[in-house]
Amino acid sequence: MGMISRVRGRIRSDSFSKIQTIKSEDKIANIVWLLSLVLLLPYWAPRGLLVALGGAWLMAAYTCLVVPVLISANYRYPARWYPAVAKLAQVVKSAYAPLDRCERLFLQMNNLSTMLCQLAVFTACDRLLVAQGKLTSLYSLMFYNVLTYSVSYVRDLCTKEDWSPYVNLTRNSRVKHLAMSATKIVLEWTKAVTFIVTITFVLLTLGLEQGLDQFKPTALYITLTGTYYLLSERTFLEIWPMALSALKLERLEGMEVLYCHAWARGVTTVLAVPLVPALAWCGRWRLAVLVMYLCVFVHGRHRLGEALMKVKEARGSVARFRRATAEELATLEDICAVCLGSMKSARVTPCAHLFHADCLRRCLATSDRCPLCVRPYVFY
């Protein structure tokens, strides 16, 4: 009986100590959560308390010091209601799924979604940077669209290979199709006349300054809107990779298109972010919400996220192949067996063959074997 009493006492004492430990951990977690709220109050202070006291540097220093400590403390002592919040987040995510599908469908209409984002950003800059600007955003968007049309026409002329005004019945035939040839000639002349008239009209408008009473942009306005337009319009998104490819940067390894899209999406998202608090500061809440949702949340979550994912996948596909050293390239003096081009940088396969990273990546998309010796890749 005495032994049984002692065992019961030990069990009771252990249970009590566990209960006390649980309660003490709950207290610590609650204290950490309350302290986190207190330390995050400066971010919610009216008119930006930290920025008003010490400027943006104080805000940046405060963020770098406080936020990591808060995250680690809440991770070490999580409150009991954190799992409930996680479950609630899953419920919200499932409820948000229909809206997510609508966002993806909206982004599939690329021209419409891009134009609405541009119009939202231009209107925000109009309200913030132009005094009494009523139609500045519309004038700017129209001017940039005219510029885009002109650039697109010049690009088509530069890349055009078939200058013949006639259309043959078949590819190898010399017999001319009369109706199609006449249509082609009319279309080409129409494009040329439209281009000349457009350029003349723009030059006359800018030179005579007629009808521009409502168009009084500032230098900052033109810089922001012009940068956003050049990095979001599809015509220029097709031109920037060509310009970057002309630089022949070997470190990009033939991924100029992917990098340009990721950089363009990132810069446009960053340009739209400061417009939201600035609009809220000025009391333009509805426009601030629109810019936040369209240009920051939807654009950053889908377009920027997809661009970064493509870059990550492209880099990850060749990451297991090591880079060729300068001695290997100088010794072999080889050419890429895929594109037959000289190699200033290359990736080495386990079977000791060298290829351009971009060529190797395209081969990996269809096969996991070496394109030269047809052996499977085995890494040790």
Asked if residue 336 belongs to a domain, the reply is yes
Q: Which residue has the tokens 């950089």?
A: 263
- Considering the domain architecture, whether residues 198 and 233 belong to the same structural domain is answered as yes
At 82 the pLDDT is: 65
Give every CB contact of residue 221 below 8 A, 6+ residues apart in sequence: 125, 126, 129, 130, 136, 140
CATH number at residue 347: 3.30.40.10
Give every CB contact of residue 324 below 8 A, 6+ residues apart in sequence: 343, 345, 346, 347, 348, 354
Give residue-wise pLDDT tens across range 65-88. 888 888 887 777 777 666 666 677
At 213 the pLDDT is: 62
Residue 144 belongs to what domain range?
A: 104-165+177-318
Asked if residue 6 belongs to a domain, the reply is no
The answer to whether residues 121 and 225 touch, using CB atoms and an 8 Å cutoff, is yes
Asked if residue 379 belongs to a domain, the reply is no
Strands of the sheet containing 322-323, edge to edge, are: 322-323, 347-348, 354-355
At 81 the pLDDT is: 64
At 51 the pLDDT is: 55
- Considering the domain architecture, whether residues 271 and 212 belong to the same structural domain is answered as yes
Mean pLDDT by 10 residues, the chain (380 residues): 51 46 68 77 61 64 80 75 70 80 87 90 87 74 85 80 70 70 79 79 65 70 90 88 79 82 91 89 88 90 88 84 81 76 81 83 83 77
At 148 the pLDDT is: 86
Asked if residue 373 belongs to a domain, the reply is no
- Considering the domain architecture, whether residues 182 and 289 belong to the same structural domain is answered as yes
Number of domains in the chain: 3
Closest listed residue to residue 68, CA positions, set 57, 76, 56: 76
d(CA 258, CA 250): 15
At 23 the pLDDT is: 62
Give residue-wise pLDDT tens across range 321-340. 888 887 877 777 677 778 87
At 207 the pLDDT is: 63
Give residue-wise pLDDT tens across range 337-374. 788 777 788 888 888 888 888 888 888 888 888 888 87
Q: Of 80, 114, 135, which marks where a domain is finished?
A: 80
Asked if residue 190 belongs to a domain, the reply is yes
d(CA 105, CA 270): 24
Q: Of 303, 318, 333, which marks where a domain is finished?
A: 318
- Considering the domain architecture, whether residues 150 and 213 belong to the same structural domain is answered as yes
Helix or strand run (H / E) with residue 355: strand 354-355
d(CA 36, CA 69): 9
Three-state DSSP class for residue 369: strand
- Considering the domain architecture, whether residues 296 and 326 belong to the same structural domain is answered as no
At 16 the pLDDT is: 42
Count of Cβ atoms closer than 10 Å to residue 308 Cβ: 15
